[in-house]
Structure 1
Amino acid sequence: MGKLTIAKDQFLYDGKPMRILSGAIHYFRVVPEYWKDRLQKLKACGFNTVETYVPWNLHEPRPGEFCFDAGLDIEKFIRTAQELGLFVIVRPGPYICAEWEFGGLPAWLLKDPAMQLRCGYKPYLDAIDRYFDELIGRLVPLQSTNGGPIIAIQVENEYGSYGNDHEYLQYIEKGLKSRGVDVLLFTSDGACDSMLQGGTLPHIFKTVNFGSRALEQFEKLKEFQPEGPLMCMEYWNGWFDHWGEEHHSRDGQDVADVLDEMLSMGASVNFYMFHGGTNFGFMNGANCMGEYQPTVTSYDYDAPLSECGDPTEKFYAVQKVIKKYANVEDVPLDILPKMAYGTVELNECAKLFDSLDDIGKEFKRPAPVPMEMLDQNYGFILYRTFIAGPRDESPLILQDVRDRALVFVDDQFAGVIYRDDKEPSIYIKVPKEGIKLDILVENMGRTNYGPNMLDRKGITYGVRMGQQFIYNWTIYTLEMDNLHKLNFNKDKQIECPAFYRGEFEVAKPFDTFLKLSGWTKGVCYINGFNLGRYWNAGPQQTLYIPGPLLNKGKNELIIFELENVEKPIVELIDQPLL
């Protein structure tokens, strides 16, 4: 047993000087079969610690229902790190940012119309208490003070970027300590006055987050913490991608030079990210600082270890610097094989509008409501009504839609309305016999950072034709987690939105990459597992399929396409296109 402590300007572990060389790996972004592989490569690069966030929304998907098994077995992940000789830093939130859906907060919080996030609002604190009661008891036995590898636990996360409710921070601190946390507590914030004022507590160890200008950032930290070791808790050595933007990359030598600068100052560091992984399913977040920017499925992050776990040039540049300051054992790296399985034809189809009763839940409401009010967390939501005629041509106004709506008039596609649209784009003239109006809204990821996190999904206020609100709606919630109920047929000329299904054989499962040339926008499932979203807006052009998700023998691929597909064919290739 040991404990991380602070003596003047250095860390001590069990009374001996220690420098923390840490890298972030999120267990929930990596299939559990690959946890050991990724952790071994972290150690081989020269790191002595792994850091991970904890996503509340995955661990408590419904109020009072908890999940800590399979890919969410955080205890197994931490024990695996310990078996490899690594220390562990845990950042349990409750808010984590991480470009993760809603910053890790569970969507069901938003069913409360008066919800106030990340402050002393009692229903929010009550939910945290229930979550901490379940989570923290699992972490306490794994603390270094109990013979485990956990040496430090974070209080909230980058709170100064959001608020300044110090009583709330104290509540989180007390909640950790009262449940048995006795290792080093810390905060992490951007290195500026407002963030360090709002996000820190006088008696809690402070760290800062940055990607460059280390001396300048640490000097600002010293203004708030004159004594104590210097630590960059998030060294942004790469960056994440939004749909419709260019893929981000950063020169590996530049990353190594900034690391060298930090280590020469005696500082400790946590690479964010060392290995990014994947935003499987609907778990990508979004930024919304004036413009809504959803994050792509890949969380490759241009990190030292790629999305599929391969060491990059950046890996070796970082390793070379670390060798100047620490003993790094030279060990061979296991490069997992990739396989191009070729073309797969998806020769069975099911039209969404014919499948609503199979995979959706139906509700009647006078006006549209957001999905959270119907106990829906993720996926799509369909609003349907009948508008009597005749009516002169009027603009269709969705007030306020989040995030992207496909509009259909009498089952015919009429256009797309996006949450950032400034002017009406769809005008409808209603004949004497009236029309059926369908509005299919995609939740493209809740905002994970900044002031616009109260991000309810669907149509959050109402629908108008001109100035007149339209009432009497049938609503279908479509979480897309029950596709086994679909009835497929062999019709290849089906109209989108539709599901396409195909099968392929695998002699031996290896990692592969799903290339979707000719497809427009949608979601992919392999053997029932939601791989995530695709969109021809780019930059991402392939979806990563880890080998453990494949079966030896027959495999099933289902694609939900929203708009259009040239041919229902995909390729399984042996390299990513990001």
Structure 2
Amino acid sequence: MSGAPSTRPAAFAIGEHDFLLHGWPHRILSGAIHYFRVHPGDWRDRIRAARSMGLNTIETYVAWNEHAPTRGEFDLSGRLDLGGFLDAVAAEGMHAIVRPGPYICAEFDNGGLPAWLTRDPQVRQLRRADPAYLEAVAEYLEQLAPVLVPRQIDAGGPIILVQVENEYGAYGDDHEYLRRLAACIRETGITVPLTTIDQPTDAMLEAGGLPELHRTGSFGSNVASRLETLRRHQPTGPLMCAEFWDGWFDSWGTHHHTTSAQDAARELDELLAAGASVNIYMFHGGTNFGLTNGANHKGRYVPIATSYDYDAPLDEAGHPTEKYFAFRDVISKYVPVPDDSPLPPRPAPAPAFEVELGERGPLPRRVFGPEFTSDQVPTFDEIEHDRGFGLYRAELAGEASRPAVLEIGEVRDRAWVRLDGTMIGTLARDSHERTLMLPSARGTLEVLVEDQGRVNYGPRIGEQKGLIGPVAVAGDPITGWSLQPLALDAVADLDLTVVDPASVQGDVARGVFELPEPTALFLDTREWGKGLAWVNGFLLGRYWRRGPQQTLFVPAGVTRAGMNAVTVLEFEVPGATHARFVQGPDLGPLEE
């Protein structure tokens, strides 16, 4: 009858015992794929593989700092085309869970928070009901709204859940902040259920949740006790492990982490047997392309590796692992797995060949940006240099006839020191190094500093990068500094035939190679020291002899039929004459 109220249930809702899809009980079987860690050309393949394993949902974080490196701008192009990713999820007949943060952790640079936000003096407290912080968050969510709102299930799209914050109970207990953040999300037009996630301890679940938001847990073992704790704090509604940890990430200087496929499958079986929903973290980890890796700091600074393989069911290159088939067998006990979608193929050897690095030369000063001068040593953040490398210079006017100690308050995070163009040594934050003996207290001091990734977890989120003063030589403070940021895009396109008399620590080498068609590759870095590599201008990420990983993954979408170029920027072991592409990944030794 015209004008009568609708009795049609919400397309997706949280019932007394179950998630409800169009009014019917529904179990979420989800897998995490971060669109920004996967080349867009591979999105459909990775999503289809998740469907073939028996999953019905794809979960992703949203990386605020990637979309908005500058306040007032919002990039949704290329690998940041979140709408395109969600459309690909829908095209495979799957649902989506979106976790916009604003803080995401994710072993990602600055935990996903933009550097311009964390250095804003008006923002006095992060992840709190701080007016300036919430104002910036509101702007971010408004920028996301045109992507998310029309793609909710109520509008015929794939999104069924949106998460508020991320494991907040491990950081704070500002419930007013959570309420205002949830309200802000609702004000943008989000109507699907809102959730929180915390490790299932009484303290974290209490601090990180609200009665009006559906609590979920994050864990990878001890299923029965974890669910029991979660149920105490979520007395009604479906139980969900929204991060089922099936592997772990790698950090530079450690081993490659793996977990038993049989043990993980057994825990997944116990979780599903208890009737819970799940999001497998990660289903497919992908890669920290460019300089997007984060870092941890629990007494010692530890940067995350470029590979985010995570020992997931689908490896970094998109190939199924033993864990993929073990999980598929478990899932098939509870729901029919698709028989109309082919399983992803087992890995085949990638092309193996060598490329002569015929073009080479020192890293020239001309690829650095404008010079910023300051009496006191500036940080990267003071010149709004958010990520990468910076060159410091100062003139020393002390005694030329005797050695002197260079002392720096703190290096964040690695520094190559030269005096009058001669390499003196390296200072590393992860070794707590702050001092270096100079052969003289007179001359031109150059310090090239690498930001190895902003801390993504804990109270050090938002800390400044570069050199942290004071800086002294022979006990005398050094003043009169200049700082220039390295323009990485200029390195990839550098004309190495142009000789620049002013060079910096580092060498650039380039070679060309031909492919019959676009092809995924593995670049072997084990003979190099520390640096960066590009293919066709796409920054694959960092490499480091320290390991664990000894190869960089090259997505097929980065290559092309015909001529291709590989560029290497090496800081510590110059002189490489060839680049080697190998048949498969080498992510390093396993823990003994």
Q: TM-score, normalised by structure 2?
A: 0.93
Map of 1:348 onto structure 2: 359
Q: Do the aligned residues in 1 keep the contact of 2:119 with 2:462 (CA within 8 Å)?
A: no
Q: 1:107: Cα distance to partner?
A: 1.4
Q: Among 172, 191, 211, which residue is 1:182 paired with? A: 191
Map of 1:574 onto structure 2: 583
Amino acid at match of 1:160: G
Change (3 A) 1:344 1:406: same
- Cα-to-partner distance string for 1:370-398 (whole Å, 9 max, x where unaligned): 11221211110111011013165332122
Amino acid at match of 1:245: T
Amino acid at match of 2:53: C
Q: Among 171, 187, 192, which residue is 2:180 paired with? A: 171
- 1:37 equivalenced with 2:59 (yes/no): no
Amino acid at match of 2:354: T
Aligned length: 572
Map of 1:59 onto structure 2: 67
- In structure 1, C-alpha distance between the alignment counterparts of 2:427 and 2:202, rounded to whole Å: 40
Map of 2:408 onto structure 1: 398
What secondary structure does 2:44 align onto?
A: helix
Larger mean Cα displacement after TM superposition, 241-250 or 196-205: 196-205
- Residues 273-292 of structure 1 aligned to structure 2 (within 5 Å): 273-292=282-301
- In structure 2, C-alpha distance between the alignment counterparts of 1:170 and 1:160, rounded to whole Å: 14
- In structure 1, C-alpha distance between the alignment counterparts of 2:80 and 2:373, rounded to whole Å: 36
- 1:410 equivalenced with 2:420 (yes/no): yes
- In structure 1, C-alpha distance between the alignment counterparts of 2:47 and 2:430, rounded to whole Å: 41
Amino acid at match of 1:171: R
Amino acid at match of 1:417: L
- 1:524 equivalenced with 2:533 (yes/no): yes
Map of 1:468 onto structure 2: 476
Change (3 A) 1:65 1:196: same
- Cα-to-partner distance string for 1:507-537 (whole Å, 9 max, x where unaligned): 2221110002321000111111110000000
Larger mean Cα displacement after TM superposition, 334-343 or 450-459: 334-343
Map of 2:56 onto structure 1: 48
- In structure 1, C-alpha distance between the alignment counterparts of 2:86 and 2:434, rounded to whole Å: 51
In structure 1, list runs of 5 or more residues that go unmatched. Answer: none
- Residues 12-23 of structure 1 aligned to structure 2 (within 5 Å): 12-23=20-31
Q: Do the aligned residues in 1 keep the contact of 2:122 with 2:132 (CA within 8 Å)?
A: no
Larger mean Cα displacement after TM superposition, 506-515 or 113-122: 113-122
Q: 1:339: Cα distance to partner?
A: 2.8
- In structure 1, C-alpha distance between the alignment counterparts of 2:208 and 2:266, rounded to whole Å: 29
Q: Among 363, 379, 383, which residue is 1:370 paired with? A: 379
Q: 1:406: Cα distance to partner?
A: 0.8
Q: 1:122: Cα distance to partner?
A: 2.3
- 1:212 equivalenced with 2:212 (yes/no): no
Larger mean Cα displacement after TM superposition, 468-477 or 387-396: 387-396
- In structure 2, C-alpha distance between the alignment counterparts of 1:260 and 1:14, rounded to whole Å: 27
Amino acid at match of 1:416: T
- Cα-to-partner distance string for 1:238-294 (whole Å, 9 max, x where unaligned): 000000100000110101000010111100100000000000000011111111110
Map of 2:511 onto structure 1: 502
- In structure 2, C-alpha distance between the alignment counterparts of 1:347 and 1:372, rounded to whole Å: 37
Map of 2:136 onto structure 1: 127
- In structure 1, C-alpha distance between the alignment counterparts of 2:399 and 2:430, rounded to whole Å: 30
Q: Among 289, 298, 306, which residue is 1:297 paired with? A: 306
Q: Do the aligned residues in 2 keep the contact of 1:240 with 1:301 (CA within 8 Å)?
A: yes
- In structure 1, C-alpha distance between the alignment counterparts of 2:356 and 2:227, rounded to whole Å: 55
Map of 1:247 onto structure 2: 256
Q: Among 319, 322, 326, which residue is 2:331 paired with? A: 322
Q: Do the aligned residues in 1 keep the contact of 2:409 with 2:434 (CA within 8 Å)?
A: no
Q: TM-score, normalised by structure 1?
A: 0.96
Q: Do the aligned residues in 2 keep the contact of 1:190 with 1:209 (CA within 8 Å)?
A: yes
Q: 1:364: Cα distance to partner?
A: 1.0
Change (3 A) 1:387 1:114: farther
- 1:389 equivalenced with 2:380 (yes/no): no
- In structure 2, C-alpha distance between the alignment counterparts of 1:533 and 1:114, rounded to whole Å: 33
- Cα-to-partner distance string for 1:277-322 (whole Å, 9 max, x where unaligned): 0000000111111111101000000000000100111000000000
Amino acid at match of 1:504: F
Q: Do the aligned residues in 2 keep the contact of 1:155 with 1:173 (CA within 8 Å)?
A: yes
> Aligned residues: percent identity?
44
- 1:8 equivalenced with 2:16 (yes/no): yes
In structure 2, list runs of 5 or more residues that go unmatched. Answer: 1-8, 588-592
Change (3 A) 1:530 1:485: closer
- Cα-to-partner distance string for 1:189-246 (whole Å, 9 max, x where unaligned): 1111221122111211000100100111111112211222110000000000000100
- Cα-to-partner distance string for 1:326-346 (whole Å, 9 max, x where unaligned): 011234224376532400121
Change (3 A) 1:423 1:449: closer
Q: 1:454: Cα distance to partner?
A: 2.5
What secondary structure does 2:266 align onto?
A: helix
What secondary structure does 1:575 align onto?
A: coil
- In structure 1, C-alpha distance between the alignment counterparts of 2:78 and 2:42, rounded to whole Å: 12
- Cα-to-partner distance string for 1:483-506 (whole Å, 9 max, x where unaligned): 256331399xx9951211111111
Map of 2:120 onto structure 1: 112
Q: Among 58, 71, 79, which residue is 1:71 paired with? A: 79
Q: 1:3: Cα distance to partner?
A: 2.4
Map of 1:261 onto structure 2: 270
- In structure 2, C-alpha distance between the alignment counterparts of 1:161 and 1:230, rounded to whole Å: 20
- In structure 1, C-alpha distance between the alignment counterparts of 2:536 and 2:432, rounded to whole Å: 40
What secondary structure does 1:329 align onto?
A: coil
Q: Do the aligned residues in 1 keep the contact of 2:96 with 2:159 (CA within 8 Å)?
A: yes
Larger mean Cα displacement after TM superposition, 420-429 or 340-349: 420-429
Q: Do the aligned residues in 2 keep the contact of 1:441 with 1:458 (CA within 8 Å)?
A: yes
What secondary structure does 1:361 align onto?
A: coil
- 1:437 equivalenced with 2:445 (yes/no): yes
- In structure 1, C-alpha distance between the alignment counterparts of 2:468 and 2:209, rounded to whole Å: 35
Change (3 A) 1:42 1:2: farther
